Amino acid sequence: MSNCESCFAAELPECIDAFTLKGKLTASTDYKWTITDKFGNRLSGLATSNVDGDIILSDSSFNKLLRSFSGSFKIEFFLENSTVPVVMTMCDTKEYNCINLTMFREDGVSSPAIIGECEGA
């Protein structure tokens, strides 16, 4: 891995049911995802990347779990039968094997719920 840092730092608006990861994963591939909270509690599921290697994660519990007062969350993706996190290319340049996610409260205009799309990248 070149330019590999531990986790990509991301922020999303709270009270969401879904978000998009633009991590340049292998197209049309099944992945297991895991979200771990600050206490070590885990939520996991399966998702399939689209033809661009992006994944849309949705879970009915996100709205209750992913809140600004909940602290940070670690998100990892794995190939279905692997315990090694896959490498994601964020902002078209740097490689990461996890995401450190925090949530923020919004007032007014809604922000897009997208991870990995950076300005100037």
Domains of the chain: 8-105 (2.60.40)
pTM of the model as a whole? 0.84
Centre a 10 Å sphere on the Cβ of residue 56 and count the other Cβ atoms it contains: 14
19 pLDDT more than 60: yes
116 pLDDT more than 60: yes
Model confidence pLDDT, tens digit, residues 33-88? 999 988 998 988 899 999 999 999 887 666 667 777 788 999 999 998 899 999 99
Share of the chain above pLDDT 70, in %: 85
Centre a 10 Å sphere on the Cβ of residue 67 and count the other Cβ atoms it contains: 14
Residues 76, 85: contact at Cβ < 8 Å?
A: yes
